Amino acid sequence: MTSTLIRTNAELAPRAETLTSGELYARIMAHAERLNVMTEMTADEADWRNTFYNEMNVQRTHLDKAPEHPNGHGLYIKYEGHQPGGRSFKARGGAYSVMVAQANAGPVPLKEIHIASAGNAAQGVEAAATKYGLKTVAHVTPMASKVKVASLLQNGVEVVTGTTVGIDDSGNEVMKSYADLDEARNGARNVTGDGIVTLEAYDQVEVIAGQATVGYEAIQDLLDAAGRGELDLKNDPVKIYVPVGGGGLIAGVACVVRSAKDAGLLGENVQVVGVQMEGCDAARRALPYLRRGQEPPHDLFTNGVIFNGKTDGAAVPRAGRLPLTIMADRRFVAGIESVTEIEVAEAMLWSRDVYGAVAEPTAALSLAASRKRAASVPTEHGQRAVEHHVALVTGSNIDPETFKEFSEKALAARKKAAEMQKYAVTKATSLAAYNRELLRLGGVIVDDKLVRPSALPQNMERTPAAAVQGTNVWSSLLAR
């Protein structure tokens, strides 16, 4: 295998080169096309693809049609929770970036790979590096998931949690823990030597190209679904929801979707939408600045962000420079939405109880946004065409204690919602009065009707009370 792009540690430092979205798109696609499952293969592409999917054991995942979705909208789920090396999509970018690094090693053989990571990216790199007999060193922050760090250590990864800042009186090194992923990235970049390479978790062309394989596979499955008459990819509203942390996944998927549009396979009605957790949404808040051609304020990424360690995969102080270049261009990404912790908890329960698969909090961001959107867009009486959503559920790397914590939050929210609705019904004498009372309480409705706490369905949805329409709904509420 050969590579057209050779990276060194120096090139991974903050780049003086400024690329337009079009220039970056071309570089990403030059790599991604090697792994494109939708096209006939040249001999070189067959070599790369065989190594990626077979030797690296990256699993090609398929879209599953969800058993139900609010208001009759369609939902396809792409579940990445069974990938090697951490049970997340990060295995893709990790595999391809290691493959390229190995191909570009030159006369000095690779020995060691350093990467800053919240956990999943390092596991993805480790799974690939092991195939070549390479050592992996992960630079992590204190907020990294305990279960992910434990898995790294179990697999022989050296875990570095900070930098040496001095020597104490006893001659021991004094360590300073990494405050965030930016500090961890700098720590990884500062390690140099023969046979040592630093890879990025998201801000690297090769990593983005590896993640782009998610897009190729999803588009192929959407085309197959369209062939079965399930949707019209040239006219029906289609939203592809992608969790956003550093942005490598959404950048890769967005590039592949743009390529498919330009090839006439998809219409402009197909949109790529990013999702972040409230409080960990620096990329979402940076987007308006970037789309005006302005540099976002620095404190937007630091003092203005409250990090939630439970969504550690998305808790980055700053999305990557390369992914932000793609996200800022509306031709690639329609926008970035945010969801609450409770909405994520609800999505995690739905994934386990209805879809039948465990999703870690970051992975459930896409489900939360999709279900929130579907619940808010009615389809009755021809008011709105049915939308079709693709939710990229990106991993299952979660410990039982954290899952239990999220489950309890979701169940408590369901109980509170039902109790508020019951109280609102007793206080109101009309539909309008019911809406006002429920809104005053900060209330929500459940599937347009009151649901008793003892019989809450697993697919319970919460939509603004003002969305309740029709006297039949009010009558059914009063009847309860």
**Tokens describing residue 131:** 């195939």
CA distance 195 to 223: 44
Residues 6+ apart with CB under 8 A from 202: 93, 121, 208, 245, 246, 247, 248, 249, 251, 319, 320, 323
Highest mean pLDDT among 183-192, 211-220, 281-290, 427-436: 211-220
Strand partners, 444: 464
AA identity, residue 351: S
CATH code: domain 10-85+205-400 is 3.40.50.1100
Give 152 or 377, the one with higher predicted confidence.
152
In order, the DSSP letters of 413-455 are HHHHHHHHHHHHHHH-SSHHHHHHHHHHTT-EEETTB---GGG
What are the structural domain ranges in the chain? 10-85+205-400, 90-199, 414-479
Q: In this structure, are residues 275 and 242 in contact, taking their beta carbons and an 8 Å threshold?
A: yes
Q: In angstroms, what CA-CA distances link 304 with 177, 265, 317?
A: 21, 41, 10
pLDDT score recorded for residue 322 = 96
CATH fold match for the domains 10-85+205-400 and 90-199: yes
* Least confident segment among 132-141, 257-266, 425-434: 425-434
pLDDT score recorded for residue 308 = 46
* CATH architecture under which domain 90-199 falls: 3-Layer(aba) Sandwich (3.40)
Write out pLDDT tens, residues 238-264: 999 999 999 999 999 999 999 999 999
Write out pLDDT tens, residues 443-459: 444 444 433 333 333 33
